[in-house]
Each structure stands twice: as structure tokens, then as C-alpha cells.
Amino acid sequence: MPALKEAARDAGNPERSEVRRMPALKGKAIVGQSGGPTAVINASMVGVAEEVKKHPEIQALYGTVHGVEGLMKEELIDLSAETAEALQLLKRTPSAALGSCRHKLKAEDYERILKILQAHNIRYFFYIGGNDSADTSRKIELAAKQAGYEMRVVGIPKTVDNDLAFTDHCPGYGSVARFNAIATRDAGRDTEAIGVVDNVKIIETMGRNTGWITASTALAKEAPDDAPHLIYLPERPLVVERFLADVKRVFDRLGYCVITVCEGLKDEKGETLVASQRAVDVDAFGHKQLGGVADFLCDQIATNLRVKARFDKPGTIQRMSMLAVSEVDLAEAYMAGRAAVRHAAEGVTGQMVTLVREPGPAYKCTTGLARLEDVANAEKPVPDEFINEEGNFVTEAYLEYARPLIGGPLPPYGRLTGKRVPERL
Amino acid sequence: MPALKEAARDAGNPERSEVRRMPALKGKAIVGQSGGPTAVINASMVGVAEEVKKHPEIQALYGTVHGVEGLMKEELIDLSAETAEALQLLKRTPSAALGSCRHKLKAEDYERILKILQAHNIRYFFYIGGNDSADTSRKIELAAKQAGYEMRVVGIPKTVDNDLAFTDHCPGYGSVARFNAIATRDAGRDTEAIGVVDNVKIIETMGRNTGWITASTALAKEAPDDAPHLIYLPERPLVVERFLADVKRVFDRLGYCVITVCEGLKDEKGETLVASQRAVDVDAFGHKQLGGVADFLCDQIATNLRVKARFDKPGTIQRMSMLAVSEVDLAEAYMAGRAAVRHAAEGVTGQMVTLVREPGPAYKCTTGLARLEDVANAEKPVPDEFINEEGNFVTEAYLEYARPLIGGPLPPYGRLTGKRVPERL
């Protein structure tokens, strides 16, 4: 994605010399976590906490409990009181230790938040999250500016969905990708062994609007006939007839088939393939809900191809698994947290830290900056060059993009050489 | 379970001195894998392969591809040709490297199988699996006996379901338990962080008839309010009204709730709570299938309690995860494979290796033997003393039983001490 990378770099390097001239701003800092927890969001928080200690003008670091929801209620904790050992352990603890939220603030909320920040002399605001969080941060910055209150607001990216623009990739993605690659390889080995009876396996991954997570299952494939055999992303409409023909082709050849699908698959009209009709979800009483995408597709396979199909839906397990953490992802999440503080100390505000992939044959990642406003209003789908023509797999270009992010090869598995014994009967 | 342990021990020690007197039986050995693959079934196969090398009267070890299904077709491979390095790697590779099956032999099949075994001068038959495999092995032994063909048949236990009688536990269980404990702890941390919006989480585990796997999620709990908050096993009927009252009680107190359920939950009539009505599953065309247990219960919660409920269904991932392998389980699976060969070399036949928990404060496991016929006809449910009175959790006795099996404590996670900042507004 050279275009995106350029953008990230342009946004990322406002003339450093200029921001360096900003005078040191004395006051406290606050950090919050927002959106779906991940394996590495705590690493970003620890990065903030450790970097803050290197900047004497930042007098203390507070944490806001459950993001802006706690901030509204002035539920703050003193992160400066945490020991270095506690922080080290938290760095490798999944979930959001501060508590998270998915709270959309109302216009009047910003006024109250600003009052609370002012009351505690908070001059540095760090918010770890996705584009909704970027939007919240941007509006908090705006409120401060309008009130003439000097405060530096820097966002830290976090989303397993990997759908933020202006950054090469997002902290959280490498680990969810590693988990799903391993889970798909395991499901593949399983189906290979027992596919004689359990013929088709579907793995439903997260990813409401974009297929980045589903795409990562391709990293399971070590040999041409390995799982996954088919991958479906929401960037392409799912046509059931074509899907069934794809499955039949693989099944007829191998005797089994492993498919990975995104929970957010869309049909030809762009509608979610299987919309929840649950009372609480649609805010109206109703009908028995239909189950998920994988369930629906298993049913299609069973009914139309008359072969057994089962699904795995790792759900939140995939984004929380510290067992499958990508060490690259963990290190970058931590780096992003530290970079946010460093930039803010230098005078940066209204920006989100980005991850920048350096050119060259070896993978190297540094940080840049992008405007919170730009990040808030963009969503990055899996680009065309990462999806094959048939819309049922990813391309080599995607694999090249994703491979370094999962932190090294998958743990090695063996195979029998399987020297055949000559028949005697 | 002292009663079971006694039984295992009685069955396990037929007068050793007597079997030792059997003359060495020259010939080849064969090993097969059957039923659902696990993280450690290859370790048992490697145990067989390595022990065979110590017995010169066993001239070679063959593997049967896809269990008895391959045996019927004389699809055999030469395991003696595998290198020591290849076996070492396979020991830590999940799934069934030989291929597995769920094949019920017909009466006439045994005759053909016997002919094939005789043609290759196979005198040792090892079959790794659950009670169906014990039944198959028993019948193969009977066929050999009736034909006056001397062959020693020894079963090796394998099932994540942990439902075999006459053995303290089953290879495969410790690892699926470790996976589910970690996954449930992760889901708990996730729900704790984001439960303000994603209120209820249900994890659906495997276990068609028994609740052993679901029970193991209790090992996630490190503090009283940790997940799981409720556990439902098929050993107790699920009464939806009571279930909803349980969930409401937890939710009202904590603001979120993590529940683990078995895929095979039954209603008060003993019927599967959510039976599949899929064409291919019920062998008749029909209706949209209903989804699984967790899906159904999420819907009940959403509709009746009007709170959001989501489910994770790790499916085959749970039984295949080498990331969460229990080192105790792996070592015991290997030990069971070796013990089978040792016993057969001594003259044992018609028996399955069992795992025997030695008395004493420290966990120690040895092997014993149980008659294949007895194993084939029994299923071990979770006993009453392992389930609480309300039928919505396990007891301390279960935790004591299960804790040593998962191979040490879960990886340590941190928590913020969370020193509260005094309010200023």
C-alpha cells in the first residue's frame, strides 16, 4: 500500500524542529482505553506510563476507568502509584486493565470533561483506541482549544480490525492474525485427519466491516493443499451459489474443505448477510434470531451439497489470546504508547501515532503521526490488490504485507513421511 | 472418585507374574488413531513407536491410515521408517498424523481385517481412541481368537471428553481443560473491561454427553468474582427459567456475566436442548437448523432479560491447541503409548491402558489396565460430588481433581492496584 504509506509519512512528520520549540508544559497526564480489548492494549498503556517518567514536566499519570465513561464520572486512578514490576506484568496481560467503553459523548459532555481535566490540571490526554476514539479525542481537544485551556491530545492506535487509515497497520492486528493463523492451521490438520466424516469446517472470524482479520487466516497455509482453502471477506459480496460451487470444487478434490469467513459478510445488495434480529440488538421485539454467518453457510452446505459442515467461532478469544501474541505486535503497541508521550512532550497535539513500515527488504517499523480528524473519518478496507480475482482468497501481496506482523513463523508441526507398505492381499 | 480408582486398579493389575511367563511373540505391530483428534494423540503414537524399538521380537511397526477404515483397504504405512527427529516433532504436533476415523465396522469386516493382519504377520494391535475404539479393538481381538491367530490387542485411551470409565482421566483432557481455562479467563477479563456494553458472554464447549470439558472452565477462576460465574453441564437438566434467574442475579450484582455451557445440554425430558434439524444430520430434508446451545441461550437472555449476550464457540480449536497443551497431559499420553507396548510384549491382550492417580498429597500418575469390553460399554459422567447443589457450578472436589491435570498454573496476569484519585468536582 504505497499510497497509504506516503500519506502516513506526510502526516507523520510535521516539521519536527518547529514543534520542538514549544515550551515545556507543566501538568498531569491522563490515559484511557477504548473499544474492544486486545492482547496488547495494556502494552500501549505501559508504554505511556514508562515514558511519562522520563518527562519531569509531566507531574503524574492518571488513568480513566472505562475510558470517557469514567472520565465523565471523575473515576480516575493514579497510575504513577503502580510499581515497575506491576507494569511489567501488565504489559503481557490481555484485555484493558483500565476498563474500556464504547461510549459516544453528547455535545454537553465535553464541557463537563473539560472541567474535570482542568480541575486536575491535566495537560496531556492520551487515548488508546480506533476511529471512534480518535473522534472523541479530537472533540476533547477542540473543547480545550475553545476554552483557551492548553492541553495536548495524542491518540494511540488500537484495533484488531486493522481498519485505521494513515497507519501501515494497527497494534492488536498482528496478534489476532497470529491466533487465527494457528487456529486455522489446527482446524486444517484436524479436518485433514477426520475429514472423512467431518467434511467441511468453517471458521468465523471477527471483522464487522473489513476483512483484515479473516485474511490473516491465509498465513496458516504452508503447502498448497493446506487450510484455508477458501477465504471470504466483506470487501466482496458473497454470492451463495458461487460460494457453494467453490466449496464443491475443493471438496470433490480433497474430500474435505476448510473455509474462513468474516462475521460481517455482505450480500450483493451490500446488506449484512445474516443480520441479527434479536430484540435487544434491533431495539424492537421480534423473531428468533438467525445465528451467525458461519451457521448460515453451514446450513447452505448441508442442505445443498449434502455434506457435513461445522463451524468454529473463536469470538473474543481470538483478540485476547496472550498464548498467540505476536512479539512484533506487542513491541509496537508499547512503542506507540511511548511515542505518544514523547510527541506530546514536544508539543504535538490533535494527532494519532501511526506505525510506519520502513522501506527495504527487512521488516522495520517506526512511528509517525496522522491528524486525529483524518483518522476519525476514514476506514481502511482490504485493498483490491490483496484479494484474488475470484474473491475467494488473498494474494501474495497480502501475505508479504502480513507475514512480518505476526512475529515470526508459526510453531513447527511435523508430518509422517508415510512410507507405504506394499499390499499383500 | 475412590470407587472408580479401585476399579481401575483391580482391572489394572492382573497377576503380573503370570503374564510375564508368556513366551515372546515374534511379529509386527500396528497402531491406529480413532475419533476426534487432540493435541496429544500423536504423543501416544510416538510412545508406541519408541517403545516398540526396545522389543526385538516386534519386528516392525505399521500405522493404519484413518484407523480401521484404512485397515480395511490395506492402507498401511511403515512407521519404523520414521526418523527419531521426525517422531520428536510429531510428539508436539496436534491432530492425528495417521488420519482418524469414526467408522463402525460390520460383522463381515472383521474377517477381512483379520486376513490383512495375518498377511502381514501383525501380532500386536494398538488402537488409540475412546469407547467406540475399545469396542472395535475388542471385536478384532475376538475375531483373531476365534480364528486361532495369536495376536495381542491393547487399547490406548484418548478423548478430550474424559468420559472413559476405569481410568482416572483420559489423555487429551488436561490440554482441552487448560485451553478452556485460559480462554474463559480471557473472556472474563474481556467482559470485565467492556461489560459496560457487551454484558453477557457465553462460551460453548465441546462435550456431547458429559460435562467434563465445560467443568474445566472453572479453573479460570482466581478470585471469587472472576469468570466463569455460571457453569452448566449436561449431567443436570437445563431449566430455562432457572438459568435466566441465575444470569440475572450475577448481572445485577456485577454488571456483566460470563457463562460456560456444554454443547450437549439437555432439557428436563433428557432431550438435547437444541437438536440439529439439518438435512444431512437427521437424514431427512428440512427446516432451517436452530443453531447451537449458546446461540439459543443468548437469544433467551436478550429477549427475556433485555441485555446483550454474545457467544464464543472455540469448536475444534479447543482440542487441537498446542499453545495451551498441558505438559502433564502430553507426558501421560506418551506414557500410555509406551505402556501399551510394554504390556503387550508381556502378554497382555484385550485390555486398555488406564491412568491411575497414586494416593498422596503430590500428584502422581501411573498406568494400569482395564478390560476393553468393560471400557467399551461404559461412559463416565461427571459425578454428583463434582457438581454443586444448584447445578450451576462445580465443587471444590472437582477443582482438586482437575487442577493437576492442566500442567501447572495458568500464565500469570497482572491487575492495576487502582489507587483512586480523590474527586475535585
Query: How is the beta sheet containing B122-129 ordered, strand by strand?
Result: B76-78, B58-64, B27-33, B122-129, B152-157, B351-357, B365-371
CB A203: neighbour CB atoms within 10 A?
A: 29
Asked if A413 is an interface residue toward chain B (Cβ–Cβ < 8 A), one would say yes
* pLDDT higher than threshold 90 for residue A275: no
pLDDT tier for residue A3 given thresholds of 50, 70 and 90: very low
| Confidence at residue B22, expressed as pLDDT on a 0 to 100 scale | 73
* pLDDT higher than threshold 60 for residue A12: no
pLDDT tier for residue A6 given thresholds of 50, 70 and 90: very low
How much is the pTM? Answer: 0.93
Residue B63: which of B87, B79, B47, B44 has the closest Cα? B79
Residue A196: which of B258, B172, B70 has the closest Cα? B70
Cα A293 to the center of its chain, rounded Å:
20
* pLDDT higher than threshold 80 for residue A290: no
A120 to each of A51, A147, A150, how far by Cα in Å? 20, 16, 13
**Distance from the B347 Cα atom to the nearest Cα atom in chain A, whole angstroms:** 26
Tens-place pLDDT, residues A291-322? 689 999 998 999 999 999 999 999 999 999 99
The mean pLDDT value of chain A amounts to 91
**CA atoms B27, B32, B38, B39: torsion sign:** positive
Cα A286 to the center of its chain, rounded Å:
32
Residue B331: which of B375, B372, B366 has the closest Cα? B366
Cα A155 to the center of its chain, rounded Å:
15
List phi, psi (to 5°) of A169: -160, 175
Q: Which residues pair with A356 in a beta bridge?
A: A366
Asked if A275 is an interface residue toward chain B (Cβ–Cβ < 8 A), one would say no
Given the DSSP bridges, would you call strands A351-357 and A152-157 parallel, antiparallel or unpaired? Answer: parallel
Would you report the helix, strand and coil content of chain A in percent, each value rounded to 5?
40, 15, 40
Q: What's the rounded mean pLDDT across residues A340-368?
A: 97
B61 three-state secondary structure: strand
Instruction: Using CA coordinates, name the residue in chain A closest to B288.
Output: A299
From the number of C-beta atoms within 10 Å of its C-beta (0-12, 13-18, 19+), residue B46 rates as buried
Q: How far apart are CA B379 and CA B157, in angstroms?
A: 13
Distance, first Cα to last Cα, chain A: 59
| Confidence at residue B292, expressed as pLDDT on a 0 to 100 scale | 87
Binary contact (B413, A192; C-beta < 8 A): no
Which residues in B lie closer than 8 A to residue A189 (C-beta atoms)?
A: 37, 93-95, 320
| Confidence at residue B275, expressed as pLDDT on a 0 to 100 scale | 59
CA atoms within 13 A on the CB side of A256: 22
Asked if B189 is an interface residue toward chain A (Cβ–Cβ < 8 A), one would say yes
Overall residue count recorded for chain A in this entry: 425
Which residues in A lie closer than 8 A to residue B278 (C-beta atoms)?
A: 298-299, 302-303
Contact indicator for B59, B80 with CB cutoff of 8 Å: no
Q: How far apart are CA A215 and CA A230, in angstroms?
A: 10
Residue A80: which of A113, A52, A117, A47 has the closest Cα? A52
Q: How far apart are CA B397 and CA B378, in angstroms?
A: 23
Tens-place pLDDT, residues A33-65? 999 999 999 999 999 999 999 999 999 999 999
B167: its cell numbers: 481410568
B contact residues 278-307, partner A, Cβ 8 Å cutoff: 278-281, 285, 288-289, 291-292, 295, 298-299, 302-303, 306-307
Asked if B397 is an interface residue toward chain A (Cβ–Cβ < 8 A), one would say no
Q: How far apart are CA A196 and CA B330, in angstroms?
A: 26
Which positions of chain B have pLDDT values less than 70? 1-21, 275-291
DSSP code at position A143? H
Which residues in B lie closer than 8 A to residue A302 (C-beta atoms)?
A: 278-281, 289
| Confidence at residue A287, expressed as pLDDT on a 0 to 100 scale | 37
* pLDDT higher than threshold 50 for residue A326: yes
From the number of C-beta atoms within 10 Å of its C-beta (0-12, 13-18, 19+), residue A6 rates as exposed
Find the CB nearest B311 among A74, A315, A416: A315
Tens-place pLDDT, residues A106-160? 999 999 999 999 999 999 999 999 999 999 999 999 999 999 999 999 999 999 9
| Confidence at residue A291, expressed as pLDDT on a 0 to 100 scale | 61
Q: State which amino acid sits at residue B27.
A: G
Distance, first Cα to last Cα, chain B: 59
Binary contact (B424, A99; C-beta < 8 A): no
Strands (E), A315-364: 351-357
Contact indicator for B158, B352 with CB cutoff of 8 Å: no
